Structure 1
Amino acid sequence: MRGVRWRRIASQIGRSVAVWAVSTLTMLVLAALLPDFQLQSADGDSATRIAVTAACGAGAFGVLSAVVWPLLVRLLLLVPAFVLGLLVFFLNGSLLLLALRINPSGRGAAAPETAVIVAAVMSAVASATGAALAVRDDETYRRRLHRLAARRRRSDPPCPATPGLVFVQLDGVGHDVLVDAVRKGLMPTVARWLGTGGPGADGLPSSGHGLRPTHRLSPWRTDWSSQTGASQLGILHGSTFDVPAFRWYEKDRGEVMVCNRPTSAAELQRRAVLRTADGGLLSVDGASRGNLFSGGAGEQALVLSIAARRRSRENRSRAGYFAYFSDPAGAVRTALSFVAEVVREIGESTRARLRRQRPRVSRGGLYPFVRAFATVVERDVVVAAVMGDMLAGRTAVYADLVAYDEVAHHSGPCSRDAEKVLRRLDRSLALLQRVAEHAPRPYRLVVLSDHGQSPGETFHARYGLTLGDLVRAGCGLPVPRRAQRTHSGAEARAAVRAALGRPVEEDRGERRRASRGSEPIVLASGNLALVSFPDVPHRMTKEEIDARHPALLTTLANHPGIGFLLVRSEEHDGVVLGAHGVEIPLADLDDEPGPLARFGAGAADAVRRTHSFPHTADVMVNSAHDPADGEVLAFEEQIGSHGGLGGAQSHPFLLSPVELSAPAGDREEVAGAEQVHHLLRRWLGELGGPEVPLEADTEEERAA
């Protein structure tokens, strides 16, 4: 045993010496190439003296990077991850300048901007050399993963022998998109798990090449609100009640709720805990990484619902990325990749514009930086945090990787840009699988998505006006001149005049006399839109809307870009409205689906459930949908959208280990995020994990 220990120590010393030698050589090469980086005095020195100076400088920089850098990052935990990533270059360059100053040879100098370059190159080379030397040593590799990704537990109880579960959410990746990516060879890790060389006759992956499947792929169906806020709240907290869309207006509070706004996310989580008395999927030894909601986890990083609260010892939302940035080489790689992604996005958007690609949306302004953060920084930090959770032996981990969703919104769900992101996400899954082999307990990886995305051009691009313009025109309110000149705008004005019995020349005066108190609030959530009248304290009925704005519902229902409307009814409780005067009570939708027939199975149930929510809007508007090509019309500036009914957006996937029970059981399919929540609970129990309590256990949840 003692001999093994000494061999391990000798091996570590040998690797350290090798890294030092390579770093010294790198410093010598950089000194020869960069005029503002000197390793000799002004009068010149011998080659030996220069080599000694480089060796001392490389050694000092290595020691400072190992000792001082982690302390600097820990002091900067109050700084958001994005800002800390930008500080990486400055901090690393400062350490190099300090290393040159304390160099015992008395030689060595660099301009500040040159020091940044030298430090970045040396950190990357040292990291690559260390990794190459350690690749055959499992124990060393495991220790390196700990340094890179793990912030260890404050206390270290014995790790359970039962398997833990890691849930990785690939945000926005639909079931059909995943199947197609496997067929094209874009996701070899997923293909290995499925034991497939391509899809079978039913479109699902089939066994091939003698591989034994380790996972099964299953679709599931979202609620009407097919977006992360509703789906993830249901998955983590067991309730999607009263989340009618991504954004909506609440009359009783006079506020607009937006799922990705920290205050709104915190309120939604509070309501879900009160409704279910549920501590959350992750409330027992869990970690939440990169999510909108905490799931009751004790360990949280980049979780939106806690971002609005003051930080405390129990609420360290940024502590999860400490371990990642504590490795300067990893931080430098992320920063360089961030810059490269910004340049890549600018190039791709310019190429799409020059080719006059259709459909297309604006990708300028801050979007290149938003995309780079989602596809590089968020991915690297979240994956590193999950690696740390696995190496710390946590029981349940839920992480959201948002890269695909962000790119697909602007480039399209099946675009080359989106396919490149799928390749990178597959590599992240492969890394997590490899880390699981070094974890102190077995792990099972479950990969799932919260919704898909449906392609199609925007409502504005096709018809020349926004839905808000159309609603205002239908209400007889002023609209912008560009909207007045469109065919849709002219039809809306004609409908208003006909409904009011006014001649053409009186239209302008009628619009001037419209009461400003009746101006509607129109909020878009992908291809779902919500129209609310804030001056009416209750949810208006069809009869009330017709009395106030006789042409509005007819104008909307007959527009070719709109699939159907949902409104409350005094006579039938609720009705679905379609073109040509179609009006179907909710109770009759199963027998006579009418305009919902194009939206597939489950549409009627989803609409009825949303109708029961307290904060459902006065008018719920779903865009048109073409079943032949799966396209919808987004009311936002997105060519890949989700949020309503229609196409792939309503069909995410579950990729689960075959040793766990089948997702649907006796049902045809898993329907709704709440069922997914109960399914994940069941899987935790099947692996022998602790029973997740169904009551609020934390002090914060009891106070709520």
Structure 2
Amino acid sequence: MRARGRRGAGTRGVRAVRDVRWRRIVSQIGRSIVVWAVSTVTMLVLAGILPDFQLQSADGDSATSIAVTAAFGAGFFGLLSALVWPLLVRLLLLVPAFVLGLLVFFLNGSLLLLALRLTPSGSSAAAPETAVIVAAVMSAVASATGAALAVRDDEAYRRRLSRLAVRRRRGGPPCPRTPGTVFLQFDGVGHDVLVDAVRKGLMPTVAGWLGTGPDRAPAPTTHRLNSWRTDWSSQTGASQLGILHASNFDIPAFRWYEKDSREVMVCNRPTSAAELQRRAVERTGDGGLLTLDGASRGNLFGGGADEQALVLSIAIGRRGRRTRSRSGYFAYFCDPANAVRTVLSFVAEVGREIHQSTRARLRGQLPRVRRGGLYPLVRAFATVVERDVVVAAVIGDMLVGRTAVYADLVAYDEVAHHSGPHSRDAEQVLRRMDRCLALIGKVAEHAPRSYRIVVLSDHGQSPGETFRSRYGLTLGDLVRAGCGLPVPRRADRTLAHAVGAARAGEPPTGTEARAAVRAALHRPVEESHDRHRPAGRRSDPIVLASGNLGLVSFPDVPHRMTREEIDARHPALLPALAGHPGIGFLLVRSEEHGGVVLGPGGAEIPLDRLDEDPGPLAVFGPGAADAVRRTHSFPHTADIMINSWHDPAAGEVLAFEEQIGSHGGLGGAQSRPFLMSPLAVSAPVEDGAELVGAEHVHRVLRRWLREPDGPQVPLAAGPRSARQPNGQEGRTERDGREGQEECAA
């Protein structure tokens, strides 16, 4: 009897599973029919509006025939989009992303023309340019309809988000029950900027997680907010290398000259990024933060991840399936609706930038930099294409239950450089980034494993006009003048003022200043038609800028020059630099003291005395002395390190690049990024302690990955094999395309 009861219960269970399965099939068929019907109506409407799009023969057809033709056309177009489009995008992976985005419209229009030719009536036709428009509209409408139907059905929506992971993990190990972690980097968003955006109501998702928000009762707090202090080089290259690979040693700036290799290293150059990552792995013996089933998306460095897409350090050389720099684009652009939507948003963003820059110019807004040329396209790529692709890749990683994901969203940083970190343009970007965070949080609720979402930034940005706009010359002009080299005539008066001030204690003017410059420096003034050079002149100095951090190197000297050597060679150079009102301090090597900081008024402080007498570093706040001493220890520190002037009251600096929101040195909010972590993990630091340096942040993130409820990451895990276990390599790229409606919702 008992056995019979168990058999009966088992039979009922099998029937229940069958019933659920059939209901799912019927539901899916029903949604497909609705999408088909909406697409058919859309095609009929467009045929009535567009004169070059016809669904009937020249002799005229009945309304029924036209409707049948539209139904067949919409059906064939849907099938071609689902079956042929992914293959086309796969074939075009070697095409640059911008070109691929432009080809989206033409390829989609070609599929529509093919679908019209397949209709039984054979009477439908469209001009090529009209087909592009019709295909774009139909793809967007079909995608929106499918997403809306899935969202309205909570069970269908949950299945839609989780079925990919279940399917891909068949035959492999089950999805771990321990929580995964998503590290989402808001590039360039300082701690104070985030707090201010929450206060203004620009970022409701962040406000909800922190339990705050304007004009509403406090919400349950799920996250805590901390600030941390960057190294002297407050930029993505140094910070992200330290966060992902546990070491940013010997990264003095965003760009610097290395005398041993005679090369200029630039953090966002693929060859440089690959070399910096190699050095970090060699120094630490550690593959990186993401060595355990990790994914790196949109970053400069890979972090030892199994899955990498849009990662700069693998953009060159040999790449396997797991390390294709453009593989992330396939996951997004293989859905024509996503591709069309992104391209339209790209065009809209270009128009938005042109409008905003024109408005700023007409209003006489200051400070202001030029925003023409290719910048509107660069901004649109960073704020639209890169954002959409990276968020889509993160969603794909969560749907397959990946253990650790680190992704970088660069939109705010790009806009703030040219519009200002507190501008209305930058605030609009923060709104959109908050919506991306809300989407990722929503996906986490339906992922096959729980996720802890950590949001952080790599640096902030400090406002201020440029060095050139304030003083009428570049840092290179000032250095060349101090070395007795020709400079443009436009900079002559300003240089005379600076050098005269350094030598006489107060600024001379007019003829006296010019005479002082020529007599003291023997400096020729560059004429428009005659650039004469002194006989026997040594190699010109290499002057590089990283935000408000300047670097001067003398390439013909194989070692790092000392202050005494520089004075013997160019006696006016260091006084001219240290005495200029736009410069905060200099760091040079010294034969007597090892290293010294030079500043206005003849200040000269040895590095070992900075704690008791910070001198010109006092206005840069606590930790400045330690940051300068650490950079002094780097093998590739420049002969002269120059940090611009800083106003602690306004938080402003003077950028040596053409940026009104800058970072790269000391001074202001650029050195204060944020770290927002779930309450489910331990506090980053003990009460009263400070989180200092990107390497310290790495240790905190790794500790969270090793905590009892999280994955057990070895402290010194070496690089993972190029092949993933269980034959799952590349699965995120395949799976991500099926979740893009949710990504763009």
Residue 580 of structure 1 aligns with which residue? 601
Q: 1:492 aligns with which of 499, 508, 512?
A: 499
Residue 622 of structure 1 aligns with which residue? 643
**Residue 180 of structure 1 pairs with residue 196 of structure 2:** yes
Residue 82 of structure 2 aligns with which residue? 66
Deviation of the 1:323 alpha carbon: 2.1
How far apart, CA to CA, are the structure 1 residues paired with 2:281 and 2:27? Answer: 52
Residue 596 of structure 1 aligns with which residue? 617
Provide Cα deviations, 1:415-457, integer angstroms capped at 9, x if missing partner: 0000000000000000000001111000010000000000000
Deviation of the 1:311 alpha carbon: 2.9
**Residue 15 of structure 1 pairs with residue 15 of structure 2:** no
Tell me the amino acid that sits aligned with residue 649 of structure 1: Q
Structure 1 residues 526-675: aligned runs within 5 Å:
526-665=547-686, 668-675=689-696
Deviation of the 1:411 alpha carbon: 0.1
How far apart, CA to CA, are the structure 2 residues paired with 1:2 and 1:504? Answer: 94
How far apart, CA to CA, are the structure 2 residues paired with 1:655 and 1:128? Answer: 33
How far apart, CA to CA, are the structure 2 residues paired with 1:154 and 1:513? Answer: 75
How far apart, CA to CA, are the structure 2 residues paired with 1:676 and 1:119? Answer: 48
Residue 388 of structure 1 aligns with which residue? 396
Query: Cα RMSD (Å) of the superposition?
Result: 2.3
Q: Mean Cα displacement is larger for which, 326-335 or 603-612?
A: 326-335
SS in 1 for 2:324: coil
Percent identity, aligned pairs only? 78
Q: 1:326 aligns with which of 320, 334, 337?
A: 334
SS in 2 for 1:309: coil
Deviation of the 1:359 alpha carbon: 0.2
Structure 1 residues 413-562: aligned runs within 5 Å:
413-484=421-492, 486-492=493-499, 503=519, 507-508=523-524, 512-513=533-534, 515-562=536-583
Deviation of the 1:481 alpha carbon: 1.1
Deviation of the 1:11 alpha carbon: 1.2
Check conservation: 1:242, 1:616, Cα contact below 8 A. Answer: yes
SS in 2 for 1:676: helix
**Residue 694 of structure 1 pairs with residue 716 of structure 2:** yes
Q: Mean Cα displacement is larger for which, 660-669 or 534-543?
A: 660-669
CA spacing shift, 1:693–1:319, aligned 2, 3 Å: farther
SS in 1 for 2:550: strand
Residue 107 of structure 1 aligns with which residue? 123
How far apart, CA to CA, are the structure 2 residues paired with 1:700 and 1:499? Answer: 66
CA spacing shift, 1:153–1:361, aligned 2, 3 Å: farther
Check conservation: 2:488, 2:525, Cα contact below 8 A. Answer: no
Provide Cα deviations, 1:243-288, integer angstroms capped at 9, x if missing partner: 0000000000000000000000000000000000011000110000
Check conservation: 1:474, 1:495, Cα contact below 8 A. Answer: no
CA spacing shift, 1:89–1:501, aligned 2, 3 Å: closer
Check conservation: 1:150, 1:384, Cα contact below 8 A. Answer: no
Check conservation: 2:502, 2:579, Cα contact below 8 A. Answer: no
Check conservation: 1:148, 1:323, Cα contact below 8 A. Answer: no
Residue 283 of structure 1 aligns with which residue? 291
Deviation of the 1:131 alpha carbon: 1.4
Residue 202 of structure 1 aligns with which residue? none
Q: Mean Cα displacement is larger for which, 156-165 or 607-616?
A: 156-165
Provide Cα deviations, 1:147-169, integer angstroms capped at 9, x if missing partner: 99999679743110000000000
How far apart, CA to CA, are the structure 2 residues paired with 1:695 and 1:628? Answer: 45
Deviation of the 1:490 alpha carbon: 4.4
Residue 205 of structure 1 aligns with which residue? none
CA spacing shift, 1:102–1:507, aligned 2, 3 Å: closer
Deviation of the 1:309 alpha carbon: 1.5
Deviation of the 1:14 alpha carbon: 1.1
SS in 1 for 2:656: coil
CA spacing shift, 1:604–1:398, aligned 2, 3 Å: same
Q: Mean Cα displacement is larger for which, 275-284 or 6-15?
A: 6-15
How far apart, CA to CA, are the structure 2 residues paired with 1:171 and 1:93? Answer: 36
Provide Cα deviations, 1:613-655, integer angstroms capped at 9, x if missing partner: 0000000000000000000000000000000000000000000
CA spacing shift, 1:163–1:181, aligned 2, 3 Å: same
CA spacing shift, 1:586–1:527, aligned 2, 3 Å: same
Q: Mean Cα displacement is larger for which, 144-153 or 155-164?
A: 144-153
CA spacing shift, 1:152–1:410, aligned 2, 3 Å: farther
Deviation of the 1:541 alpha carbon: 0.2
Count of paired positions:
692
CA spacing shift, 1:693–1:78, aligned 2, 3 Å: farther
Structure 1 residues 151-230: aligned runs within 5 Å:
156-197=172-213, 209-230=217-238
SS in 2 for 1:339: helix
SS in 1 for 2:597: strand
SS in 2 for 1:622: strand
Check conservation: 1:31, 1:37, Cα contact below 8 A. Answer: yes
Check conservation: 1:500, 1:550, Cα contact below 8 A. Answer: no
How far apart, CA to CA, are the structure 1 residues paired with 2:21 and 2:49? Answer: 42
Check conservation: 1:459, 1:561, Cα contact below 8 A. Answer: yes
Alignment gaps of 5+ in structure 1: 200-207
SS in 2 for 1:166: strand
CA spacing shift, 1:115–1:274, aligned 2, 3 Å: same
SS in 1 for 2:228: strand
How far apart, CA to CA, are the structure 2 residues paired with 1:173 and 1:492? Answer: 38
Check conservation: 1:288, 1:300, Cα contact below 8 A. Answer: yes
CA spacing shift, 1:580–1:154, aligned 2, 3 Å: farther
Check conservation: 1:288, 1:297, Cα contact below 8 A. Answer: yes
Q: 1:118 aligns with which of 134, 137, 142?
A: 134
Tell me the amino acid that sits aligned with residue 320 of structure 1: G
Provide Cα deviations, 1:345-390, integer angstroms capped at 9, x if missing partner: 0110011111111000000000000000000000000000000000
How far apart, CA to CA, are the structure 1 residues paired with 2:618 and 2:158? Answer: 54
Check conservation: 1:151, 1:323, Cα contact below 8 A. Answer: no
TM-score, normalisation: structure 1: 0.95
CA spacing shift, 1:7–1:695, aligned 2, 3 Å: closer
Check conservation: 1:147, 1:327, Cα contact below 8 A. Answer: no
How far apart, CA to CA, are the structure 1 residues paired with 2:614 and 2:125? Answer: 77
Tell me the amino acid that sits aligned with residue 481 of structure 1: R
CA spacing shift, 1:609–1:68, aligned 2, 3 Å: same
Residue 3 of structure 1 aligns with which residue? 19
Tell me the amino acid that sits aligned with residue 664 of structure 1: V
SS in 1 for 2:524: helix
Deviation of the 1:399 alpha carbon: 0.1
Residue 91 of structure 1 aligns with which residue? 107
Q: 1:232 aligns with which of 237, 240, 259?
A: 240
Residue 262 of structure 2 aligns with which residue? 254
Deviation of the 1:179 alpha carbon: 0.1
Q: 2:67 aligns with which of 48, 51, 76?
A: 51
CA spacing shift, 1:260–1:501, aligned 2, 3 Å: closer
Provide Cα deviations, 1:125-184, integer angstroms capped at 9, x if missing partner: 111111111113234324555799999679743110000000000000000000000000
SS in 2 for 1:197: coil
Alignment gaps of 5+ in structure 2: 1-16, 504-512, 527-531, 724-745
SS in 1 for 2:552: strand
Tell me the amino acid that sits aligned with residue 670 of structure 2: Q
